[in-house]
Amino acid sequence: MGSMAKTRVHIPQSGDDLTPAWFSETLDGKVLAVERSVIGAGIGFIGELHRCELTWADSGDGRPDSVVVKIPAVANHGIGEASQAYEREIVVYRELGGRFGIPMPEYHYSEFDPNPAARLKSFVLFLFEKLPVNAVNWLLLKFLGLSDKSRRRYLLMMEDIRDSRPPAQAVGGSIDDAKLALDVLAAFHAHNWMRREVSDVSDLFWPLEQTPKVWQAGYLRNREQLENDFGHLLSDAVLAKLDDVQSRIPEIMGHLGSAPWTMLHGDYRLDNILFRPSGELVVLDFQAVGQGRAGWDVAYFITTALTPDHRVEEESLLRRYHDALVSEGVSDYSYEVLIEDVELAKLAMTHRFIGGIDALDTQMADGDDTFLVVMIERILGWID
What is the CATH number for 24? Answer: 3.30.200.20
Any domain includes 165 = no
The answer on 335 and 219 residing in a single domain is yes
The answer on 144 and 40 residing in a single domain is no
Bridge partners, residue 154, by sequence: 112
Helix (H) or strand (E) holding 109, with range, is strand 107-112
Residue 191 burial (CB count, 10 A): 18
The answer on 128 and 28 residing in a single domain is no
Question: For 112-140, how does the pLDDT look when each residue is reduced to its tens digit (9 = 90+)?
Answer: 998 877 777 788 889 999 999 999 999 99
The answer on 322 and 243 residing in a single domain is yes
Any domain includes 236 = yes
Any domain includes 164 = no
Predicted confidence (pLDDT) at residue 3 exceeds the cutoff of 50? no
Average of pLDDT values for 179-192? Answer: 97
Of residues 45 and 192, the one with the higher pLDDT is: 192
The answer on 125 and 194 residing in a single domain is no
Predicted confidence (pLDDT) at residue 172 exceeds the cutoff of 50? yes
User: Which among 26, 24, 31 is positioned nearest to 3, based on CA atoms?
Assistant: 26
Model confidence band, residue 1 (pLDDT cutoffs 50, 70, 90): very low
Q: So what's the pLDDT on residue 211?
A: 93
The answer on 372 and 322 residing in a single domain is yes
- Cβ proximity of 110 and 71 under 8 Å: no
Model confidence band, residue 95 (pLDDT cutoffs 50, 70, 90): very high
Predicted confidence (pLDDT) at residue 360 exceeds the cutoff of 90? no
20 class by beta-carbon count within 10 Å (0-12 exposed, 13-18 middle, 19+ buried): middle
Q: So what's the pLDDT on residue 364?
A: 47
User: Which among 222, 244, 220 is positioned nearest to 133, based on CA atoms?
Assistant: 220
Any domain includes 356 = yes
Bridge partners, residue 157, by sequence: 69, 109
Any domain includes 168 = no
Q: So what's the pLDDT on residue 119?
A: 78
Most confident of 46-60, 282-296, 343-357: 282-296
The answer on 339 and 193 residing in a single domain is yes
CA atoms within 13 A on the CB side of 141: 10
Q: So what's the pLDDT on residue 167?
A: 65
The answer on 62 and 206 residing in a single domain is no
The answer on 194 and 140 residing in a single domain is no
- Cβ proximity of 287 and 86 under 8 Å: yes
The rounded mean pLDDT for the chain is 90
**The total number of structural domains that make up the chain:** 3
Distance CA 338, CA 195 (A): 19
Predicted confidence (pLDDT) at residue 165 exceeds the cutoff of 90? no
The answer on 102 and 228 residing in a single domain is no
Longest CA pairwise span in the chain (Å): 67
- Tell me the backbone φ, ψ of residue 122, rounded to 5 degrees: -65, -40
Distance CA 268, CA 184 (A): 11
| From 54-63, 181-190, 221-230, 330-339, the region with the lowest mean pLDDT | 54-63
The answer on 140 and 18 residing in a single domain is no
State which of 96, 127, 159 marks the end of a domain: 159
The answer on 321 and 255 residing in a single domain is yes
Any domain includes 120 = yes
Measured over the CA atoms of residue 62, residue 63, residue 67 and residue 69, the dihedral's sign is positive
Percent of the chain past pLDDT 90, that is, above it, reads 69
Distance CA 300, CA 290 (A): 14
Of residues 257 and 98, the one with the higher pLDDT is: 257
Q: So what's the pLDDT on residue 169?
A: 67
Any domain includes 170 = no
User: Alpha helix (H) ranges present in 51-174?
Assistant: 77-82, 85-91, 118-130, 133-148
Residue span of the structural domain in which 333 resides: 175-380
